[in-house]
Chains A and B, each alone.
Chain A
Amino acid sequence: MEHNLFRYIWRNSRRDQMIVLAMILLSLPFYFAAFDLPKRIINDALQGRAFTAGNASTTFLSLNLPLPEALGGPFTLFAGFQVNQLQLLFGLSGIFLLLVIVNGAFKYFINLSKGILGERMLRRMRFEVFALYLRFKPEDIKGVKPAEAASIIKDEIEPIGGFSGDAFIQPAFLGMQAFTALLFILVQSFWLGLVALAIVMVQGLIIPRLRREQLRLAQLRQIESRRLAGRIGEVIEIAPAIHATGYAPYVRADLGGRLGSLFRIRVDLFRRKFAVKYLNNFLAQATPFFFYSIGGYLALTGALSIGQLVAVIAAYRDLPPPIKELIDWDQERADVIIKYQQIIEQFPSRLLSPDSEDRNRLPPPPDAPLRISDLQVTDRRGTLLLAPMTLDIARPSHIALVGGIGSGRDALMRVLGRQTAEFKGKVMCADIDWRQLPDSLATRFIGYVGPDALLFAGNMRDNIIVSLHRQPPLIFSNPETDISTAEQTRRMECLRSGNPVAIASPEWLDFERAGARDIESLDTVIMELLTTVGLSEDVYRFGLMGKLGPDQDPAVISSFPAARERILGNLAAMGLSHIVEPLDPTRYNRNATISENLLFGLAQGDRFANDSLGSDNYIRSILEAEALLFPLAQIGVRMAETVIEIFADLPPGHPLFERFSFISAEDMPEFRRLVEKVEALGTLSRLSTQEQSRLIGLGLSYVEPRHRMDVLTPTFERRVLRARGSLREYLPASYAQDIEFYDPSRYLHAASIQDNLLFGRITYGIANAEAQVRSVIRQTLEDLGLQTVVNRVGLSSDVGPGGKLLSSQQRAAVAMARCLILRPDILVLDGALTVFGPVETARILASLRERMAGGTLLASVSQQEEAQGFDQIICFDGPRHISAFDQQAEANDSFGKSAPLETVDAVP
């Protein structure tokens, strides 16, 4: 980015700035005329100066061209109208009104243009800064605190962008206003003009000096605010560790200190700001004193007409605001220049990767060897991570890098995967130098999967195909295309603010790269990849637990009842009918929750959610009629007591708590309080309705075979069934939208695919019940061609922020699939499999090797045994490369001896 802010603004908004400046110049005569007119109204129309010679009429609106005598003298363009005094008054007043409208229109146009210009510049700057962050070298971007970057792009650039609109226009506009007003006063009265000028000089010279300290404090506040944002982001990220280590009080104290520092800066700022404001106001208010006293004296002595005095006072009313705003502009200028410098300093060119986008440059041939010469890696403290090594890696081949965590193995993988640019020596492939390799070319033949699987919020599919968004759609290729005005404006604005014209859309997808034709075949490709990385079963399971969207093909939906019939038939044929307990309107389903049994349907909103059921008057009346309120609350109390007892020693974020607690971490304190209160009162009846409803809500989630408290008696079940009947029979019309009742004859959109396929619950406690049911479902769906529908729903399942809804293994698998979908010539697996156990690691490695047949696979492993079958093994001891074995050569060696390809490098 340009280092000089004004040059940057001018370069990127020259055209707009000049248009607005031209408008300002054009507005000047109208502005001046607006000052002059009140004087004419008073002197000519009201005091009758135009009629002093006994004339009954005077000329109004005559237009004369003052040509010199040599050119024939003054030339009358329009002779005007003859008007009497009253007509003159209304005529002049009419012109005054017209000028008000015209000046207002100028102001509107100038302000609007200025605002748009500023916003355009803001958009450009935000985009450029964001793009610069994306160009950070991998090792440097890790040092950037996300919250600080967000604070810079979102907050700190904002005033600079806003200032862009004012940078040239504001001083021109305000200067013109002030100059016009001052000139007008000087023309009317030289002495009053001098007084006004003196006051302006005081304002213009003293106040900016006083504001310097204000600026310094504002900058300090900005830096402290940015640090605070960074610290908050950091604390949120490591919150579980803070909980686990009891670090929270210290963190709170630290944050309190930072907030205190911000407070103190702000107080100092207020002191300075309001003192300056006081002085400013004083000067603004003191001037009328001089005008009234001196101007009044001049008027009384006849040196100044009353009309002139009124016009001068009116003109002066318009003088301080532009002067004040000019001073504000100057302060803003100094402020944003510093802010701009601070932002620019974040992006020294040494931190940025090359930005060349040469689509014509070809990746190296797949058989070009990787040549590593004198490669050495040290960290920023000078610690040796990889001792100098020289090695040729033949391609295509599968290479295992064996070594401990943190050994030279990892450093080499990071270099080969282009995760660090801080190395000495060279890595070459054909004529391509790793150090000079731009992302655009690198990602066409290298895939890197590191130990941290980085996912973004969205669904599974989006996280995998993110790497396929490589082709901006050619939107200007067809001029015949009918483009709406709104679209034309959008594109024009993109170009004007230096943003890409192409919007983020599925059109970016490079299907060919993945070996697919369209989005449907892409899903097939993704599922194949997920099979390779061991995630396809999970996705299938997510699909079964997911719901079909409202836009689903009706033909697909209508095929579900037949699929259900077939599944239940197959289970019966296998003698497995007992492993699914059907949802029968006349029976209590012991494998479902009490609320599912009560509603016999699915809640569509909050009204029928467990937490709300106990407080809803209608549901309460139904439960009360069947004497279910207190039994349900009692079940809730027992469940709460159990959770409180079992998890007493475990912190709320503990995996066992997360997995098995019936109560969420945030609800725990509330239930602890309720249990204590029930114990103290010895009864449930003295709890408030709200408290009872909390316990009832918990009790409604009870499932006998899961929670195993032996509380379900036949009587209780009968009462629930009766309540079920009443609930449906007397359901108010206004409640109908909040529940979808179970109905075997149609597809239940609020239910999962599995629920629709089974219309029942898998029985708890039967060995392998779930696996057997899933197997039958899978077979049936395959037969009916519905498997892809389920997979598609599975791929659309949400992964949560940062992939938090997935396990670490699932996240790692998604990261691998994301890389594989690009079909890279070279795949670098840098600790990507560490989250898997040995069995799964071996299985995934074997499938990856199969998929990468004919390509180059570089995988880091800890033990040489894990490298079985690889073409080449490169071993490391600490930072040193100790050997490279060609397993193929070893196998072919008739003497059966190890055949080192390279001797151990000499290490200094």
Chain B
Amino acid sequence: MFASEIASLQRIPMFRNVDVTKLKLIAMAGNRVHYKPGETILKQGEAALMVFVIMEGTADVLRESDGGPLRLASVGTGSLVGEIGVVLDQPYSGTIMATSELTALQIDQVTFLELLKQVPQLSMALIRELSRRLLTTNELYAKAVS
């Protein structure tokens, strides 16, 4: 059961240390969804009700600006998106748009928060991922001000 999801999740660094049973729980709690290129996965300013684990495909991270959408980064297989809004219970801070055929595991807010409590490896992986992003941001900031 959920064999393909588990195989995909195991390829993602964030889930590499999570037990297979827990991966099954994550797969069971999630809904596998497909996006076509150009389809919006989540939209800036909307209530953060879902997180998405990109299992296959690529997407752009966009931020609305006065001059139109600004592309901040690109994400691909193995990325977790929407988690900041979900954890902080704040609206999504950016828009994620598929740039290729994309398959994601969609997990709703309540389930995701419950999974974090239930699967400590997932919580640790999330902390590591957020710390890594903070480090990157700090480095970028340092570079910008120097």
Cβ B115 vs Cβ A642 within 8 A: no
Q: Which of B10-18, B29-37, B62-70, B133-141 contacts A (4 or more CB under 8 A)?
A: B29-37
> Are the C-beta atoms of B114 and A839 separated by less than 8 Å?
no
A839 pairs with B34, CB closer than 8 A: no
Contact (Cβ within 8 A) A656 B115: yes
Q: Is the CB–CB distance between B29 and A764 below 8 Å? A: no
Please tell me if B91 contacts chain A, counting CB pairs below 8 Å: yes
B89 A765 Cβ-Cβ under 8 A? no
Q: A residues within 8 A CB of B130?
A: none
Which residues of chain B have C-beta atoms less than 8 A from A638's C-beta?
A: 1
| A78 touches B (CB below 8 Å) | no
Complex CA gap A705/B115 in Å reads 22
Given the known interface contacts A708-B32, A765-B33, A767-B33, the answer about A645 and B89 at a Cβ–Cβ threshold of 8 Å is: no
Q: Are B39 and A767 in contact (CB under 8 A)?
A: yes
- B contact residues around A249 at 8 Å (CB): none
**Bound Cα distance from A767 to B28, whole angstroms:** 17
The minimal Cβ–Cβ distance linking A408 to chain B, given in whole angstroms, is 27
Determine if B47 and A840 form an interchain contact, defined as CB atoms under 8 angstroms apart. Answer: yes
In the assembled complex, the CB of B121 is this many whole angstroms from the nearest CB of chain A, namely 13
* Measured CA separation A647–B28 after assembly (Å): 11
Q: Which residue of B lies closest to A708 (CB)?
A: B2
If the complex has contacts A656-B25, A765-B31, A839-B89, are A708 and B115 also in contact, measured as CB distance less than 8 A? no
Q: How far is the CB of B43 from chain A (nearest CB, A)?
A: 11
Q: Is the CB of B118 within 8 A of A650?
A: yes
Question: With an 8 A cutoff between CB atoms, is A784 at the interface?
Answer: no
CB neighbours (8 Å) of A710 from chain B are: 3
Interface string of A707-726 (1 = CB under 8 A from B): 11110000000000000000
A655 engages B110 (CB within 8 Å)? yes
Most buried by A among B2, B28, B31, B90: B28
Q: For the complex, what is the distance from the CA of A649 to the CA of B25, rounded to whole Å? A: 11
Complex contact B29–A660 (CB within 8 A): yes
The smallest C-beta distance from A433 to any residue of chain B, in angstroms, reads 42
Instruction: Please judge, given known A-B contacts A642-B1, A708-B5, A766-B33, whether A838 and B111 are in contact too, CB under 8 Å.
Output: no
Beta-carbon nearest neighbor of B106 in chain A: A767
Is residue B21 contacting chain A, with contact meaning CB distance below 8 A?
A: yes
Q: Per-residue 0/1 for B90-132: is the Cβ within 8 Å of any A Cβ (1 yes, 0 no)? A: 1100000000000000100011001100100000000000000
Q: Counting chain B CB atoms within 10 Å of each CB, which of A648, A705, A837 scores highest?
A: A837
- Residue in A648, A656, A840 whose Cβ sees the most chain B Cβ within 10 Å: A656
Which residues between 647 and 690 of chain A lie within 8 Å of chain B, taking CB atoms?
647-650, 654-656, 659-660
Contact digits for B68-84, partner A, Cβ 8 Å, 1 yes 0 no:
00000000000000000
Residue B146, interface by CB 8 Å: no
Instruction: Check if A646 is an interface residue, CB within 8 A of chain B.
Output: yes
A660 touching B28 in the complex, CB below 8 Å, given contacts A765-B34, A767-B33:
yes
User: Nearest residue in A to B28 (C-beta to C-beta)?
Assistant: A660
B27 surroundings in chain A (CB, below 8 A): 708
Interchain CB contact under 8 A, B21 and A645: yes
Residues of A contacting B3 in the complex (Cβ-Cβ under 8 angstroms): 708, 710
A612 CB to nearest B CB, Å: 25
Q: Considering only CB atoms, which chain A residue lies closest to B85 in the complex?
A: A839
Establish whether residues A709 and B41, one from each chain, have CB atoms under 8 Å apart when the complex forms.
no
By beta carbon, the residue of chain A nearest B29 is A660
- State A656–B117 Cα separation when bound (angstroms): 11
What residues make up the interface of A, taking CB atoms closer than 8 Å to B?
638-639, 642, 645-650, 654-656, 659-660, 705, 707-710, 764-767, 837-840
